[in-house]
């Protein structure tokens, strides 16, 4: 989920021939931005890397926890681990140690850029799938349950779509040399997506497609799902006599929805400035100057976006750190997952899948 405007970011620059890339590494503002970016990358490595590895290992060890929602959460964990373990060390070297100079070759430049782009879209798609699953379970509980084949198809789609739509991130990745300070200091190598200026129409079409399918549409669908769920849980009377068991079940569902809405709000708050900056930069370039201060400002904006995964992890840990204990005594599995402790599901004995808020030790056979 990482990337910078001039450093192999999700969306590239459109440069004319012989266009000079401004040196943003001079000045106090860049020093502060570098420290902030370094701290965020270290947090991602520790929280998302270590924590999600523990969640994946626990899920592999205990088959009873392999329900639909936990499998979707596992996809989130895998994508975060790939970024934390594979991408973040290179980014830490690039941003903090080498100060925007890439020394690892074009192949790794393209691979790192591609991998983190795929990770962002996988996370978005998985969150969308979880929201729809919760909606179907709560708003339409009497509809046919999701089959195993359908569930695995959803999980496959969570990965296949990002794998294909992220290809331009690798194809247009390139290494470009730019001057750094005086002639005695030499040049630095800049790793980024750089599209030729004659591809401007294609690039803008691609960006609008990504913006619509991987941000705007998922946010609208998730917001609609959680609005309908909230209406069902808060503004409809429970049929029959409200026993203590029904009230507890309702409270569990409400707590889950509150956390889910918080995740959605955080996602919008952290990523909307990033996409907004990209829209202004590529469609209204006169509103954003290309001097070093504007680029440093974008580093800060993207730093906020990058921290979304860490914030989500800490948020869920503080709210529901004990959910999996009902299944596995002594193992607080969901403490290490960004979203696993609030999304729990169950499977019918015939192999059908149905997501609920209950924690039951049944699994996919």
CATH of the domain at 266: 1.20.1070.10
Task: State how far the alpha carbon of 118 is from the alpha carbons of 2, 217, 259, in Å.
Answer: 10, 18, 25
Q: Is residue 6 in a domain?
A: no
Beta-bridge partner residues of 177 = 189
Tell me the C-alpha distance between 325 and 329, whole Å. Answer: 5
Cα dihedral 139, 65, 149, 152 in deg (nearest 10): 90
Q: Is residue 272 in a domain?
A: yes
**Which pair of structure tokens corresponds to residue 301?**
């904006």
Strands 187-196 and 13-15: parallel
Are 340 and 347 contacting, i.e. CB atoms less than 8 angstroms apart?
A: no
**Which pair of structure tokens corresponds to residue 290?**
């290309």
Q: Is residue 2 in a domain?
A: no
**Domain total for the chain?**
1
pLDDT tens by residue, the chain, 365 residues: 333 333 345 555 555 444 555 556 666 767 887 888 888 889 888 988 887 787 778 778 877 767 777 788 778 878 888 888 898 899 888 888 888 788 888 999 999 989 989 988 998 998 899 899 888 888 888 887 777 788 889 999 999 999 999 999 999 888 887 766 555 566 788 888 888 888 888 888 999 999 999 999 999 999 999 999 988 888 777 666 667 777 777 787 788 788 788 888 989 998 999 899 888 888 887 777 655 566 677 777 877 787 777 776 666 555 544 454 455 444 444 444 444 444 334 333 333 443 344 444 444 43
Q: Is residue 88 in a domain?
A: yes
Q: Is residue 168 in a domain?
A: yes
Q: Is residue 259 in a domain?
A: yes
Q: Is residue 7 in a domain?
A: no
User: For 211-230, b where at least 16 C-beta lie within 10 A, e where not — what string?
Assistant: eeebbeebbeebeebbeebb
Are 282 and 204 contacting, i.e. CB atoms less than 8 angstroms apart?
A: yes
Q: Is residue 59 in a domain?
A: yes
User: Could you list the residue range(s) of the whole structural domain that residue 127 is in?
Assistant: 13-355
């Amino acid at each position: 989920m990482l990337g910078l405007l001039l450093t192999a970011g999700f969306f590239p620059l459109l440069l004319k021939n012989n266009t000079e890339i401004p040196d943003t590494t001079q000045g106090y503002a860049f020093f502060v931005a570098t420290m902030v970016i370094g701290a965020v990358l270290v947090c991602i490595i520790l929280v998302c890397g270590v924590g999600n590895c523990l969640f994946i290992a626990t899920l592999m060890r205990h088959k009873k926890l392999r329900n639909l929602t936990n499998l979707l959460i596992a996809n989130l964990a895998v994508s975060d681990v790939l970024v934390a373990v594979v991408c973040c060390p290179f980014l830490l070297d690039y941003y903090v140690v080498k100060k925007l100079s890439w020394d690892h070759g074009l192949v790794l430049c393209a691979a790192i850029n591609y991998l983190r782009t795929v990770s962002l879209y996988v996370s978005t798609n998985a969150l969308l799938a979880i929201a729809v699953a919760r909606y179907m379970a709560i708003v339409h509980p009497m509809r046919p349950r999701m089959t195993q084949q359908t569930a695995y198809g959803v999980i496959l789609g969570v990965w296949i779509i990002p794998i294909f739509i992220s290809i331009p991130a690798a194809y247009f990745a390139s290494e470009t040399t730019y001057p750094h300070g005086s002639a005695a200091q030499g040049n630095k190598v800049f790793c980024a997506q750089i599209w030729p200026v004659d591809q401007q129409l294609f690039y803008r079409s691609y960006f609008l497609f990504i913006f619509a399918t991987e941000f705007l549409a998922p946010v609208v669908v998730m917001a609609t799902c959680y609005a309908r769920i909230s209406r069902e849980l808060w503004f409809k009377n429970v049929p029959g006599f409200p026993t203590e068991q029904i009230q507890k079940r309702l409270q569990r569902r409400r707590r889950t929805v509150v956390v889910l809405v918080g995740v959605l709000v955080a996602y919008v708050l952290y990523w909307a400035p990033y996409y907004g900056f990209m829209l202004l930069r590529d469609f209204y370039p006169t509103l954003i100057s290309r001097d070093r201060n504007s680029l440093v400002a974008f580093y800060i904006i993207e730093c906020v976006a990058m921290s979304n995964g860490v914030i989500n992890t800490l948020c869920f840990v503080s709210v529901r750190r004990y959910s999996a204990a009902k299944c596995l005594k002594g193992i607080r599995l969901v403490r290490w997952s960004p979203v696993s402790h609030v999304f729990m599901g169950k499977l019918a004995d015939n192999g059908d899948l149905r997501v609920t808020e209950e924690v039951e030790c049944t699994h996919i056979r």
